[in-house]
Structure 1
Amino acid sequence: MTSLIAWLLSHPITVPALCMAFMVGSVFGAYLQFREDDDHGTNG
């Protein structure tokens, strides 16, 4: 685990990339959840 943190610190470009991926994943997950809820609503 420590080596992973050290690697991330030695490659600073990965930090914004990880943040970006996390944000996109959160938005995508929320979108899928919203679609599922919407489908349930339409199907009654």
Structure 2
Amino acid sequence: MKKFINSVDTVLTESLDGFVAAHADILVLGDEHKFVRRKTLRPGKVP
């Protein structure tokens, strides 16, 4: 069986980096690598 987690200490950061990289056209990563948000909001939608 292959490992998907290189280090328990970096699993969240690496997961978020990969998620944002896969959807870079619509997502941006927060300053502290703790949250992901849309690049732009849709007009008329609640943020």
Q: TM-score range by the shorter chain?
A: 0.3 to 0.5
Greater helix content: 1
Higher RCO, 1 vs 2 (CA within 8 Å, ≥6 residues apart):
2
**Structure whose CA Rg is larger:** 1
